[in-house]
Copies of this chain bind each other. A is one copy, B any other.
Amino acid sequence: MITVTAKATHAQTRRHNNRLVLKTVYDQGPLSRAAIARSTNLTATTVSTVIAELLADGLVEEIGAIAIERGKPPTLVTLGKDARHIVAVDLSRNYFQASILNLRGEIQAREQLPINGATGEAAVDLIYQLLDEILPLVQKPLLGLGIGAPGIIERNQNLIRHAANLGWENLKLGEQLAARYGLHVQVINDNQAAVLAEFLFGQYKQTPDMVVVRVGNGIGAGIMCNGQLLHGNGAGVGEIGHVMVVENGERCTCGNEGCLETVASSRAVVKRAKAIAQQEFSSYLHQFAPTVDEITIGTVVQAFQAGDPFLQPVVEEVGQHLGRMIANLVTVLGMPRILLCGSVTDFGSPLLEIIRQEVRQRALSGRIHEPQIDMVSLTTNLSDLVIMGAAATLLANELGLFL
């Protein structure tokens, strides 16, 4: 694949070389200067100059020498992973979380605020409050602010087109935060952030074709194809929760009928569990939730894991619906790797097996390369996952580390 772009000016060349060396150290370090020169195809002199600049910036550090048989042992250069901090925020759950991360996406601090139903400007005020709390804790030069938000994001404008639960329409969140804090800001959809986190920091990092499917209160996917994040022209992308799967099905929050969310989200599972609890006195649900109103996805998972026979068909149906949708992603996108997260996936291996079985049976391309379906590799804490991905957007945009 050849990308032909305009010829670089001197300043662009220098910036390009700096980014190239930093990326090489980030991906492959610790490395000697000679190894960097070999890997980047830059001259030894250029590498020395660039490394001197990066050392002065603290972005790389020198560590001990490798013992070699003869001659002066070469000094190794490694990432100065704590040279910068990033603050990233997750707005996709029923609380807002802000964290401080280093350049490896390692979380240094967490602050949370409950939303308590706040919407519109009140919800924006909560973000301010959260940032006002966490920003004083930052101890290193700040690369910027990454925001993982639910809903439809116009990426180039850092604009939230539509986020139903928070009551936001065409909210210029990026602009507002940049003006208030004087920081670089990147706003990204929560599911896109999740797949980015796995792409940069996870077990399957640098896998060019990969989907993260999140199954919680809502259902959505972050999709990487050919090593690029699908961003869908600001009109939403990965909205698999709103694909119709039941003809003349239940009315969905989106206004359509029979969407995947109406049968496989935590809302749908809890609704079915409540009906079971009301009808079946021997359901284990009563052990974990004394009253029907206390049933949550957490108590349903507990009752299922305790062996509640009435929940077995519920989990089977959820798995079949999710499996079919994933089979479609595999068939349409030729997707070899799917990673799952979200509260509904707490049903664990039994659910995963139903999904895999369904995909094996239905995905056309699965007959050639069986797609790998697993849980996300980084963390079971969804806010942390979104936050790592939101931080990754800063590494991409400010340091050119990937994408």
Using a CB–CB cutoff of 8 Å, the interface residues on chain A facing chain B are: 1-9, 16-17, 19-20, 23, 39-42, 46, 152, 161-162, 209, 221, 223, 225-226, 228, 230-240, 242-244, 247, 254, 256, 324, 327-336, 361-362, 364-366, 368-369, 371, 396, 400, 403
A333 touches B232 (CB 8 A): yes
> A94: shortest Cβ distance to chain B, in Å?
22
Cβ contact of A369, chosen from B233, B328, B403, cutoff 8 A: B233
B2 touches A19 (CB 8 A): yes
Residues on the B chain within 8 Å of A7, using CB? 17, 20, 40-42, 46
Cβ contact of A236, chosen from B39, B46, B161, B368, cutoff 8 A: B368
> A29: shortest Cβ distance to chain B, in Å?
15
Task: Please name the 4 residue pairs, one residue from A and one from B, whose CB atoms are nearest each other, closest first.
Answer: A232-B334, A237-B334, A235-B365, A236-B365
B231 touches A226 (CB 8 A): yes
A234 touches B333 (CB 8 A): no
A331 touches B365 (CB 8 A): no
B332 touches A240 (CB 8 A): yes
Cβ contact of A6, chosen from B40, B228, B329, cutoff 8 A: B40
B2 touches A256 (CB 8 A): no
A403 touches B2 (CB 8 A): yes
Residues on the B chain within 8 Å of A231, using CB? 226, 334
> A221: shortest Cβ distance to chain B, in Å?
7
Residue of B nearest to A254 (CB): B364
Residue of B nearest to A247 (CB): B247
A20 touches B4 (CB 8 A): yes
